[in-house]
Each structure stands twice: as structure tokens, then as C-alpha cells.
């Protein structure tokens, strides 16, 4: 196989070729870098590329590793990292002007675990500014295009990470998911994206947007590959008090296991707002999956209608608090002024984009005196009711299947001036985020306008294995 084709292979396929000494580590890196050079200018998936470091690391692995039988599955695999996850000694911009010069002094725990496995970090990917967006159009470094059709958005906010997987400019990637930011772009770009259970993966080194919602999750070409990456980065971390002490077993996908599964289909996800063409693909997927599983049953998640309002009240309030640290004093951009207060104001005015300012204002209002209990307090109570809906549903089903997005990808610029229309892109992904549940998006059986349709599989807390099995079964049906 010639080098330029290696970037199209999965992690598991590359691992087999490396173990059999059919290819070298440098062959894989060169294949990925060549692909980046041919595609990146029209996609804008990367903010920073680690070309020199990646080549040196691959050459060093080729020179020093003699026994290839007992390697970690990710050794020598080029992985891209979303640019709100810290990589020591490299820029971490969060897609924002205000952090355009911030060099991280440490690795995020997820990155450290990848490095310990021998991963080659290929670069930092583009994203909506501070993760605030559903289209990756709010980045200071320019919008990302969908590799399937560059007139369309890739989804957001992890659009850079999913786009580089889609055009084969990385073998795997890390994204972050607050309300759907791994799953939505995975759906739009036709790749696999997984949001783990809240607490499964350490948030240490992830620049905070909404602390009670943020999760680091894997993005890859196949379900097996996402399982390998998740197994590597998951686990308790002394630096993150919200990480959970639950043993992480090696996650292996077993599509045959769904023969014992009951799959729940929530009726609220098939109501007004769902594109009929998307609905047909989802229904076709359900029909085919139903032949493999124990049962398919309709369920109800009655609080679904409140999820968008609840999510945006909570995430903007937490963003307002988290982004207060960007004041021109500690790090990042500083707009000079003789007056301290004026320096704060000018720095934030110059450094933040429109969507970030909007969310800070909304969140500050929701937390202000006289409104805190009415808005933020009410949202937290509704959040509990949303979680209770899922708890009740999982008494009668193993996993829940829904569309990932209500529509196919929309065109660049189509919704950027209509925040509410943009927010509604997350209508199906915010519920599991609010409940802290694991969810994966995998391409369904069929396409709409040449775009794959994402199928979302939601599981009970820490049941990543169940959603991986179900996603793997869909992948197997798809061939």
C-alpha cells in the first residue's frame, strides 16, 4: 500500500500493519501530513500544526521500537487535539483572539495519557470560540468548511476535529462536548463522535466553558477506534475532583451483544422540527437494527421540550463565571490603558467575539440579583426532572436511539446571524448532556443530499460499552 493511502485506514488496521512490519511509523505520519497539505487550505481544520515534532517522533519510534507485538494500540498514531485542550509548550487559543498568544505550561490529563500511550499529536484543531457555537463559524481563525461539501458547515463546536477526521488529516481526534459539540459535527461530517459520561474523563487541562457540562470525547472513523481512544483517556484523576473512581475496562465493541437489548425510541424526538428526509433515514436505521436486537419500543421523555431553554440558561451562567478570568492581567491579550477598569473593558471588548459576548451577557443577567432563582435556579430544577425522565426510561430499555440533529448540514453563513435558529441545532443533543449521560453519534443507514445522517445512541451513566455495541451494530449493517 502506498503511503498516501494510509491516512484512510482505521487505528485497528494501521496497528495490524505496524505489528506485521508492513509499514513504518513515519509512513503513517507522512501520509497524514500529505493529506493535510492537499486539503487544509480549503477546510481550515487546524489552528496549529506540529509537523516538525510529529516527523521527529515518528522517526524516533522507528529507530527505537524493535518489538511491535506488545505496543499500545495508539503508539505512533497521529491524533489531533481540539484547541481548548492544553498541550504543553504549544498554543491553546480556544479559537479566540483573547488567547492568541497563550502557551500552555502543562498537558491536560487526557493529553498526558495519550502521550504515555505513544500517540503522535499532529496539531490543534479549529473550533467555535470557547466552544460557543454549532457550526464552527465563530472562530477568530476563520470558519471551518465541511469536507463533504465545502459550501456547508461541519457542525460545532468541535468542527475542526471532525473535519480533519473526515478529510483524513488525522487518524483520531479529541473534541469537547458541552451540549452536543462532539456529536453534532460528527453527524454533519459523517464520522463517529462520543460524549462520555460526565466524570468518566478528567477535565483537567480543558479550558472551561460550562463546568457542569463539559466533557472531552473521542472522534474517529470507526466505532472501534473511538473505543480505543476512550479506553486510553478515561479514568479517575487526582487533579479533577469531578472524575469518578470507576474502573475502566478495555472497551471492546461487540455488535452481537445487542441481541439482548431493548432499544427505546422517544416519541418527543420525532415531532415538529425534524426534517422528514432525516426522519426516513432514522426510521430505516431503526427497522434494520430492530432485526438484530431483542425489542424496539416507544418511550416518552416528557421534559424534552424544556431542554434547549434549560441548557442555555445553565451554560451561559457558567460561561459568564468561567470567562471572568480573561481580563488582560493574568495571560492572553491585553489592551493597554491608563485606567485599570478601562483596560479590563477594552481587553474584553477587543478579545471576545460576538457570540461569546452574547453568552456572557445572557449568563450574567441570569445570575444577577433578583433573577438568579427565577432563571438559573429554575433551570437546575428542570435539569433534575430531565435526568429523572432518563432514569425512568432506562428501567425498560438498555439504550435510547434518536436522531443526532434535526436537519442535514446547513450552508456557511445561513444561520450565523440568527442565534436562536443556531441554538435549535442542539435540540436532540442537550438532554443527555444535562443528565450527564454517555451518547454517541454514528452514521445511519442512508443519506440526505449526499450527507450522512447521524444516529444518536444514549445509554445509562457509565454504560459506554452498551452504546458502543449498538453503534457498532449500525456500522456493521452499513458495511
The interaxial angle of helices 378-393 and 307-322, nearest 10 deg, is 130
456-471 confidence digits (pLDDT tens): 999 999 999 999 999 9
Section 152-157 average pLDDT: 97
Section 31-59 average pLDDT: 98
Is 280 catalytic? The answer is: no
The active-site residue out of 10, 82, 104, 161 is: 82
Determine the Cα–Cα distance for residues 434 and 122; give it in Å rounded to an integer.
32
Determine the Cα–Cα distance for residues 141 and 365; give it in Å rounded to an integer.
29
Q: What is the pLDDT of residue 1?
A: 46
Mean pLDDT, the chain, integer: 96
Q: What is the pLDDT of residue 3?
A: 55
Contact 433, 195 (CB under 8 A): yes
pLDDT over threshold 80, residue 37: yes
What is the secondary structure of 437-451 as a DSSP string? --EEEEEEEEEETTE
The active-site residue out of 181, 202, 231, 441 is: 181
What percent of the chain stands above pLDDT 70? 99
pLDDT over threshold 60, residue 169: yes
Determine the Cα–Cα distance for residues 3 and 23; give it in Å rounded to an integer.
9
- Cβ neighbors of 273 (< 8 A, separation 6 or more) are 406, 424, 427
C-alpha cell at 156: 460545532
Residue 38 DSSP SS3: helix
Q: Which of 227-241, 243-257, 284-298, 342-356 is predicted least confidently? A: 243-257
Is 82 catalytic? The answer is: yes
Is 161 catalytic? The answer is: no
pLDDT over threshold 80, residue 73: yes
Residue 78 DSSP SS3: strand
Domains belonging to the chain, first-starting first, are: 1-479 (3.90.1300.10)
Q: Which of 345-349, 369-373, 420-424 is predicted least confidently? A: 369-373
Section 90-115 average pLDDT: 98
pTM above 0.85, yes or no: yes
Contact 404, 456 (CB under 8 A): yes
Identify whether 42 is preceded by a cis peptide bond (ω within 30 of 0). no
- When pLDDT is cut at 50, 70 and 90, the band that residue 4 belongs to is low
300-310 confidence digits (pLDDT tens): 999 999 999 99
Determine the Cα–Cα distance for residues 179 and 187; give it in Å rounded to an integer.
14
The active-site residue out of 135, 157, 158, 433 is: 157
pLDDT over threshold 90, residue 407: yes
Amino acid at each position: 500500500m502506498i503511503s498516501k493511502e494510509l491516512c484512510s485506514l482505521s487505528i485497528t488496521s494501521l496497528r495490524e500493519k505496524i505489528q506485521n512490519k508492513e509499514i513504518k511509523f513515519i509512513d503513517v505520519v507522512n501520509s497524514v501530513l500529505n493529506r493535510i497539505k492537499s486539503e487544509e487550505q480549503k477546510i481550515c481544520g487546524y489552528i496549529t500544526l506540529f509537523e516538525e515534532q510529529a516527523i521527529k517522533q515518528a522517526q524516533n519510534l522507528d529507530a527505537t521500537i524493535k518489538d511491535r507485538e506488545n505496543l499500545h494500540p495508539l503508539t505512533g498514531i497521529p491524533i489531533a487535539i481540539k484547541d481548548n485542550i492544553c498541550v504543553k509548550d504549544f498554543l491553546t487559543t480556544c479559537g479566540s483572539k483573547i488567547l492568541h498568544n497563550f502557551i500552555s505550561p502543562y498537558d491536560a490529563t487526557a493529553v498526558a495519557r495519550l502521550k504515555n500511550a505513544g500517540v503522535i499529536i499532529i496539531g490543534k484543531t479549529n473550533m467555535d470560540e470557547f466552544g460557543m457555537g454549532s457550526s464552527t463559524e465563530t472562530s477568530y481563525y476563520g470558519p471551518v468548511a465541511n469536507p463533504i461539501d465545502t459550501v456547508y458547515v461541519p457542525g460545532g463546536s468541535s468542527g475542526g476535529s471532525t473535519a480533519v477526521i473526515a478529510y483524513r488529516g488525522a487518524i483520531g481526534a479529541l473534541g469537547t462536548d458541552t451540549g452536543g459539540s462532539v456529536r453534532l459535527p460528527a453527524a454533519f461530517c459523517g464520522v463517529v463522535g462520543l460524549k462520555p459520561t460526565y466524570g468518566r474523563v478528567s477535565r483537567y487541562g480543558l479550558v472551561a466553558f460550562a463546568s457542569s457540562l463539559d466533557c472531552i470525547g473521542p472522534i474517529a472513523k470507526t466505532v472501534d477506534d473511538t473505543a480505543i481512544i476512550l479506553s486510553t483517556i478515561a479514568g479517575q484523576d487526582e487533579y479533577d475532583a469531578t472524575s469518578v473512581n470507576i474502573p475502566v475496562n478495555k472497551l471492546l465493541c461487540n455488535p452481537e451483544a445487542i441481541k439482548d437489548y431493548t432499544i427505546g425510541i422517544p416519541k418527543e424526538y420525532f415531532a415538529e422540527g425534524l426534517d422528514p428526509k432525516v426522519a426516513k433515514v432514522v426510521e430505516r436505521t431503526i427497522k434494520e437494527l430492530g432485526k438484530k436486537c431483542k425489542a424496539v419500543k416507544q418511550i416518552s421523555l416528557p421534559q424534552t421540550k424544556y431542554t434547549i431553554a434549560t441548557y442555555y440558561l445553565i451554560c451561559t451562567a457558567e460561561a459568564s463565571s468561567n470567562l471572568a478570568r480573561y481580563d488582560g492581567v493574568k495571560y492572553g491579550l491585553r489592551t493597554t490603558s491608563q485606567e485599570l477598569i478601562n483596560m479590563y473593558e477594552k481587553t474584553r471588548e477587543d478579545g471576545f467575539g460576538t457570540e461569546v459576548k452574547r453568552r456572557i451577557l445572557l449568563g450574567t443577567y441570569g445570575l444577577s440579583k433578583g433573577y438568579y432563582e427565577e432563571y438559573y435556579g429554575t433551570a437546575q430544577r428542570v435539569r433534575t426532572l430531565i435526568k429523572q425522565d432518563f432514569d425512568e426510561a432506562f428501567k425498560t430499555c438498555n439504550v435510547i436511539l434518536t436522531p443526532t440533529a434535526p436537519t442535514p448540514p446547513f450552508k456557511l453563513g445561513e444561520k450565523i446571524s440568527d442565534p436562536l435558529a443556531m441554538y435549535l441545532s442542539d435540540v436532540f443533543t442537550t438532554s443527555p448532556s444535562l443528565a450527564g449521560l454517555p451518547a454517541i453519534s454514528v452514521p445511519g443507514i442512508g443519506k440526505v443530499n449526499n450527507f450522512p445522517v447521524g444516529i444518536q445512541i444514549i445509554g445509562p451513566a457509565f454504560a459506554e460499552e452498551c452504546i458502543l455495541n449498538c453503534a457498532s451494530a449500525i456500522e456493521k449493517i452499513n458495511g
